[in-house]
Amino acid sequence: MTASSIEWTELTWNPTTGCTKYSSGCKYCYAEIMSKRLNAMGVEKYKDAFQVRIHPNQLLLPYTWKSPKIVFVNSMSDLFHEEVPADFIMQVFAVMNKNPKHVFQILTKRAERLLKMAPELKWTENIWMGVSVEDSSVIHRVDKLRDTRAHIKFLSCEPLLGPLPALNLQGIHWVIVGGESGSRPRPMKEDWVLDIHKQCEEHGVKFFFKQWGGRNKKAAGRLLNGRTYDDMPVILARGSAAA
């Protein structure tokens, strides 16, 4: 496990690593850059750099965390990547099912495979399932997420690359928005963010504004309307969660 600097989680847990690009949000994939860096540093887990790999030896880790954690699953991969065996995905879910004191946040761009596998998976309340929605060309992912039985469903609109004026937020509990950072970030317009925030308010959906991004994301900060937005689904008790 690794303590995470991502604002909406506490730890990352990567039972799989590696991926392949899937949609425009992947262009400057942070996981790819980091995997190559870790490979160059000789880190064993990344000896195959960004190739998709499963790590069965990571499956016991959540059992070792004494205090309850909020865990981002697979920050360095996409759990529903076509090269990750279905059996391994089931094993990852079994670990999450057996560790109800931890909240597990899974984020995928492979909404098709998520929906296909969803009926076989056990959706305990501590599993928060999200899809990435970077622009309107991938808005269909929201419908696929909605059709799963995940108790908490969320959208990550990061990097936000275009307006999303017609989000169907029915059954969605949480929306994260953020701009792209790095050396060649694609711009995010304030109007796009404000519009998503308005849609969340209208539908009673929690809204988290992560960052403006840009070349100097620290300087750009994360204020919107002069304030921060850090709403998250409420964790009622460790072991059960509700929006």
Q: Does 145 bind ligand SF4 (CB under 6 A)?
A: no
**Is residue 186 a contact residue for ligand SF4 (CB under 6 A)?**
no
What DSSP assignment string belongs to the chain? Answer: -EE---TT-SEEE-SEEB----SGGGTT-HHHHHHHHHHHTT-GGGTTTTS-EE-GGGTTHHHH--S--EEEETTTB-TT-TTS-HHHHHHHHHHHHT-TTSEEEEEES-HHHHHHHGGGS---TTEEEEEE--SGGGTHHHHHHHTS--SEEEEEE-S--S--TT---TT--EEEEE--BSSSPPP--HHHHHHHHHHHHHHT-EEEEEE--BTTHHHH-S-BTTB--B---EEEETTEEE-
**Cβ 77 to ligand SF4, closest distance in Å?**
6
* Of residues 29 and 224, the one with the C-beta less far from ligand SF4: 29
Q: Exactly one of 1, 4, 7, 29 binds ligand SF4 (CB under 6 A); which one?
A: 29
Nearest-approach distance from CB 66 to ligand SF4, in angstroms: 29
User: Quick one: which of 19, 71, 92, 172 contacts ligand SF4 (CB under 6 A)?
Assistant: 19
By the rule CB under 6 A, 6 interacts with ligand SF4: no
Stretch that binds ligand SF4, among 23-31, 170-178, 182-190, 216-224 (CB under 6 A): 23-31
**Taking the complex as a whole, how short is the minimal distance between the CB of residue 132 and ligand SF4, in angstroms?**
7
Site for ligand SF4 in 46-85 (CB under 6 A): 77-78
Q: Which positions touch ligand SF4 (CB under 6 A)? A: 19, 21-22, 25-26, 29, 31-32, 77-78, 109
